[in-house]
Amino acid sequence: MERIVNTDLGGYLRQMRERVRPEQRGLRPGGTRRVPGLRREEVAALAGVSQTYYTRLEQAQTAHASPQVLLALARALDLDPDERDYLLKIGTPVRDPERPAPCDDQVSPATRMLLTSLGTVAAAVLNYRCDVLAWNPLFHRLFAPHLDADAPERSEQRPNVIRANFLDDDVRALYADWATESASNVTYLRFISGNHRHDPKLAELIGELTIRSAEFAELWCRHRVANCIEGTKVLRHPAVGELELMYQSADLQDGNILKVYHAEPGSPHEAVLRLLDPGPGPGAAPGRSR
């Protein structure tokens, strides 16, 4: 019988161990340390497991661990809730691994109606891989005026937010702090990969980005995890200049994700955002043509 290995688990434990300073866990930092962070024996002691067992986990000689052991390791490594949940997902066996997670890339009529009604904010519907399944005109003019407005409707041209962030120079130039944006994209991709470890399309996306972007590959190897559902971004739009927007994500009943960007009411940024709003009529708002 072929031995099952779990390199995701081993690599993640190693990265998390190396980022924790001994003094954070009440240990003396003195002595010669060949590696940054905690030693394996220190993590094992803090988690209440044997050093041999922990070493087997980190070296991918043991594929899975019990939830109790994983929670103990999460405490020892001082993981935040998102990081702990990711550890539990990659450290436990997957049920029905041959069956890909359902994702039909369809937007329900109710969701399309909701998207149409959000005329004063930039809104898009994404699947968990961050493929754009639908967007309202304001979102299109804000993030991708160089793409066809109906690109989300065609599977072969459907934009992917994370792919565009790394491989589309127009999208990349949009962010005032691209380094932070790119790191946030990768931490989110890590987070969702824990739920969809046997999705071939997700694996294909990760493989493509690893090959085509050295920056993505370096960030991916850090094993940082976060579910990025809200925050603030500063954009430098080629047509209207700089604007600061808040964003939020919400799970929809059809299994997709609603992403909404809006400015603080009454702020100069809201006024700038309105310049991109095409309004109810056929007139074109400022923006680059394809």
- Per-residue pLDDT tens for 59-105? 888 778 888 999 999 999 999 999 999 999 888 876 654 444 445 67
Residue 51 has pLDDT above 60, yes or no: yes
pLDDT classification of 119: cutoffs 50, 70, 90: low
**Cα three-residue angle 131-135-141, rounded to 5 degrees:** 110
Q: Cα(92)–Cα(201) distance, rounded to whole angstroms? A: 22
Chain-centre distance of CA 266, in angstroms?
Answer: 31
pLDDT classification of 7: cutoffs 50, 70, 90: low
For the chain, which domains are there?
A: 7-91 (1.10.260.40), 109-274 (3.30.450.180)
Q: Cα(288)–Cα(147) distance, rounded to whole angstroms? A: 10
Residue 32 has pLDDT above 80, yes or no: no
Buried b (16+ CB within 10 A) or exposed e, 60-78: bebbbbeeebbbbbbebbb
Q: Cα(98)–Cα(226) distance, rounded to whole angstroms? A: 27
**Tens digit of each residue's pLDDT (9 = 90 or more) over 138-187:** 999 999 999 999 999 988 889 999 999 999 999 999 999 999 999 999 99
Residue 5 has pLDDT above 50, yes or no: no
Give the pLDDT score at 10.
Answer: 87
Give the pLDDT score at 278.
Answer: 66
120: nearest Cα among 263, 234, 257: 263
- For the chain, the residue count is 290
**Tens digit of each residue's pLDDT (9 = 90 or more) over 263-272:** 988 899 999 9
Share of the chain above pLDDT 90, in %: 49
**Tens digit of each residue's pLDDT (9 = 90 or more) over 189-218:** 999 988 887 889 999 999 999 999 999 999
Read off the pLDDT of each residue in 4-26 and give the average, rounded to a whole number. Answer: 80
Residue 60 in contact with residue 7, Cβ under 8 Å? yes
Give the pLDDT score at 94.
Answer: 65
Give the pLDDT score at 64.
Answer: 83
Give the pLDDT score at 165.
Answer: 96
Q: Cα(179)–Cα(170) distance, rounded to whole angstroms? A: 15
Q: Output the CA–CA distances (angstroms, integers) from residue 201 to 81, 103, 107, in the order listed.
A: 27, 10, 18
Which DSSP symbol is given to 5? -
Read off the pLDDT of each residue in 19-46 and give the average, rounded to a whole number. Answer: 80
Structure pTM? 0.75
Count Cα atoms within 13 angstroms, Cβ side, for 236: 8
Give the pLDDT score at 202.
Answer: 92
83: nearest Cα among 26, 12, 185: 12
